[in-house]
Amino acid sequence: MATLGNPKNTIEVLQKYHFNFQKKFGQNFLINTSILEEIIDAAEITREDFVLEIGPGIGTMTQYLCEAAREVVAVEIDTNLIPILGDTLSAYDNVEVMNADILKVDIAKLADERNGGKPIKVVANLPYYITTPIIMGLFESHVPIDSITIMVQKEVADRMQEGPGSKEYGALSLAVQYYAKPEIVVNVPPSCFMPQPKVGSAVIRLTRHENPPVDVDNEKLMFQVIRASFNQRRKTLANGLNNFGSFSLGKEEIQKSIEELGVPVNIRGEALSLEQFAKLSNIINAKMKRN
């Protein structure tokens, strides 16, 4: 039975192992059973599912995942937590703990060996400093993923689902929306964690698109165009693209590309939708091929 959502039980485990929180790993353990249940519900975990958990901590969420899923692999970077996880997960025979950096794990191989290559579900309470590299690493590596249900900083969750024109809208919004449908499940105040973080958090579910929502001739180029557009937010789109210097096009050709898109040449990147970025990158791609 899952017991670690209870603060008293969490404190007992931490004291038993004289555990010290590691700031470098951004450790904040969830101590709210209703939030834990909401995460399981949002992730739609069933007895058919293989689940990859990133950052299990002392096993709080892992216990809930083990009770809901067919099999769980929990990847934990902090060596000090491995003996604690051996203890807190000892009642479950459907879990394996890997002491590794998730950015170095071959997730495609894991999905192939444990789930017959079928899409897996990812659940995580991510350290804020590494949220974006982990999410983008999962998407860009084209690992077979059904959904990613994650606890992140509230501000980051908001950014993932923002649209054009907002100051929160940026490269992360576009990248996430290209690969998945983002949906905030629940906002989580600092009081739900031990120790309490300084900022609010949110659980967001990213449901992977079967096919991207836009047609792109060169995916890598589109993300270069997006990054260049947001590198200097106060500059116009034309200046941002021109300053990037990796498109082998002159300033005039870049301006013509923007005009071909059918928007004002002095527009800023934050005003373009994902569909417009896809079209612009296709126009630039065609010009680069001709050069």
Q: Are the CB atoms for 180 and 207 separated by under 8 Å? A: yes
Question: 133: number of CA atoms within 13 Å, CB side?
Answer: 8
Quote the pLDDT of residue 28. Answer: 82
Crossing angle of helices 274-290 and 171-179, in 10° steps, is: 90
Point out the residues of the chain with pLDDT beneath 70. 21-26
The whole-angstrom separation of Cα 227 and Cα 218 is 15
Quote the pLDDT of residue 23. Answer: 63
Question: 62: number of CA atoms within 13 Å, CB side?
Answer: 30
Quote the pLDDT of residue 250. Answer: 86
Check: pTM over 0.85? Answer yes or no: yes
Quote the pLDDT of residue 42. Answer: 95
